[in-house]
Amino acid sequence: MQELTLAWASGKYIGPVICSLPGGPMRVARKANIAPPRRRKHRLTLLLEIEPMGTGEARCTNDLGDPEPELQARASIYFDGPPRPDTARRDFQQMLRRDRTVPFRVESGQLVIGAGEAARTVSLKDAKLEIRPIATGSDAARMLGDVGKLAKRSLILEARDGTRIVVHAVHVVPRE
């Protein structure tokens, strides 16, 4: 189930953000990437990266008006599921139907929130990452709009110190 789950999560994610820039409001893309799995010690791990938007200290929000700070993250994540290859596909589908989320653990990494002197760094060691399909008709689904057959997902990262970020995004380039 580990390989199936990691393949499902791998790919590029893009979420819309509106920033107040000197020329007026502008829509920019928050980009996240989950690199394909690689073997590390005794488990497969993924590399999660959230790229900075490059808006500096501009005030940014999502379409619902919620604040969207500048973020930059790099973390090594893994899925700690049962090693049953004979039932992996069924177990994965049941997990998605039952829990509506795919839980990952963060082995190591850091998150930078904000820009300039106001930026703060948060350790992601032993943090949690959940990737959830976005329900049709939800605020997040409306915010992302009609994207055809592309998957809409929420990436929810929670550090041990209680810092929590949510990135609603479209899974634009899933891993083949």
Q: What is the dihedral of CA 32, 38, 40, 46, to 10 degrees?
A: 20
Whether 1 shows a pLDDT value over 90: the answer reads no
- Where do we find the tokens 């899974």? 171
d(CA 54, CA 38): 29
User: DSSP class of residue 103?
Assistant: E
Beta bridge partners of 21: 24
d(CA 103, CA 108): 16
Crossing angle of helices 2-9/88-99, nearest 10°?
A: 50
User: DSSP class of residue 118?
Assistant: G
Instruction: Give me the mean pLDDT over the 145-150 stretch.
Output: 83
- pLDDT band of 2, cuts 50, 70, 90: confident
Q: Where are the domains of the chain?
A: 2-174
pTM of the model: 0.87
- Rg for the chain (alpha carbons), in Å? 16
Residue 135: partners with Cβ closer than 8 Å, 6 or more residues away: 100, 141
pLDDT in tens, 51-86: 888 877 788 999 888 999 999 999 999 887 766 777
